[in-house]
Amino acid sequence: MAALKRTLLNDEGQIQVRFVTKQEKYALPEAPFSIPSGIKADSLSVLVNNLLRETHESGWDEVDFDFLVCGEFVRLPLIEHLKLKDINTEVTVEVEYLERFPAPEPEDSLNHDDWVSASHCFKDWILTGCYDNTLHIWKTDGTHKSTIPGHCGPIKGVRWIEVTGSTATFASVSHDQTVMLWKMNLETYAIECVHIGRGHERSIECVDVDKNSSFLATGGWDNMLKIWSATSDSNSTNEIDDGEKEKGCSIGSGKSLRRTPLMTLPGHKEAISSVVWTENNEIFSSSWDHTIKLWDAELGGLKSEIVGNKSFFCISRSPLNQTLITASADRHIRLYDARSQEGSIVKATFTSHVGWVSTVCWSTTHERLFVSGGHDNILKLWDSRSPKAPLYDMTGHEGKILCADWSNPSIIISGATDNTLKIFKSEV
């Protein structure tokens, strides 16, 4: 280590740094080092590996590291990063290092007959919706289990509600202005539509379910947020609906109970693009009217509002850190902390997409990781501490990405206008 230190000291343009880590197995002595001021992250990783190799007599296996200075990943030459952060280079700079999150690996490509516009994963089940009005059930190993007709318009949102024993329930929403509630036998794959919700006056764009799997929230082009019962029991006072087939829809051999919304929440001035039901029984809704609204789902009142400067196409909320990420027409992703009492509630802006950002989704197990997909055909994996560049670009789509989901920690899925759903393996 002394020889390596002397070599570094001989280089011109030096900065004194102290390497620190929260991962004890990679800890180095706390002595400061002089390193080249223009060093980049990859070279820093080589340096730390060389230092660790000298401290491990039993041998050392190479590890890829990332580096944080002042809470943000180093993506520029170190001296430029320090200048942007207004950090004094005359004192010893603390550089935190941590093992780099591995790149997601392409796992499978699931072919559909039309644009894949909606997707949701629950354990080893994948639910997708298409522009040809059909739903599809898949296993995460790529096995196709069922094609489900029923809607008479493109599918815009899908959501697993509950999987218990041998039965699964899920919901779908469509341009046909309906929300459908489905029940599937997991052993025989028999599927029936048990409820058809009518109440929206224009296309429904999004759907989410509460934490108890009891209620659904939907939003659409009629600017309305609506709440529905998500229970599938047929002991309901709703009327039997016999008119769906007259509208060109096919709901199978059985009859479905028509369901009406329990609550309608007006307030948005343009289409609602995304809804998120929180564990606190609140609902976030994003809209083309440049606002995100927070609603009390029990009382039906508006609690607060976030005003942006562009249309919001998608929002995702992390239950781990309680912050929101948003997709917008200006190609930027923004991180909002609605609880913030000081400064701007926009805590970071992530810029890399060269087209509209259509979808965002937080990891359910990593409080700093999320994915985004856009009209530039690219799915990107981000760390909230790296606003200037994504961790990885996940290529493969040949069309605009319309949806993405990371509900299963081991896989990331994305659907696009190339008629495919891509599956990427995520190393947790």
Task: Identify the CA nearest to 164 among candidates 146, 144, 191, 185.
Answer: 185
First CA to last CA across the chain, in angstroms?
33
Write down the residue that tokens 């909002």 correspond to: 336
Interval 158-164 mean pLDDT: 95
Provide the token pair at 65: 């590291």
The pLDDT score that the predictor gives to residue 12 is: 52
What pLDDT, in 10s, does the model give residues 40-86?
999 999 999 999 998 887 788 999 999 999 999 999 999 999 999 99
CATH architecture of 105-425: 7 Propeller (2.130)
Provide the token pair at 102: 């591995």
Write down the residue that tokens 């080893």 correspond to: 124
Q: What is the largest CA-CA distance in the chain?
A: 84
Provide the token pair at 10: 């001989």
Sheet bearing 256-259, strands edge to edge: 155-164, 167-174, 178-185, 191-198, 256-259, 240-241
How does DSSP classify residue 92? P
Confidence bin at 259 (pLDDT 50/70/90)? very high
From 3-12, 74-83, 371-380, the region with the lowest mean pLDDT:
3-12
The pLDDT score that the predictor gives to residue 255 is: 62
Residue 17 confidence (pLDDT) above 70: yes
Give the mean pLDDT of the chain: 91
Confidence bin at 241 (pLDDT 50/70/90)? very low
**Quick one: what percent of the chain has pLDDT higher than 70?**
92
Exposure on the CB side of residue 357, measured as CA atoms within 13 A:
27
From 283-287, 326-330, 358-362, 401-405, the region with the lowest mean pLDDT:
326-330
How does DSSP classify residue 247? G
Confidence bin at 246 (pLDDT 50/70/90)? very low
Domain boundaries, the chain: 2-99, 105-425
Q: What CA–CA distance (Å, rounded) separates 161 from 213?
A: 6
Sheet bearing 272-277, strands edge to edge: 272-277, 282-287, 291-296, 302-307
Q: What CA–CA distance (Å, rounded) separates 138 from 421?
A: 11
Q: What CA–CA distance (Å, rounded) separates 273 from 207?
A: 10
CATH architecture of 2-99: Roll (3.10)
Confidence bin at 247 (pLDDT 50/70/90)? low
Write down the residue that tokens 């001035």 correspond to: 269
The pLDDT score that the predictor gives to residue 283 is: 98
The pLDDT score that the predictor gives to residue 254 is: 53
Beta bridge partners of residue 229, listed in sequence order: 215
Residue 251 confidence (pLDDT) above 60: no
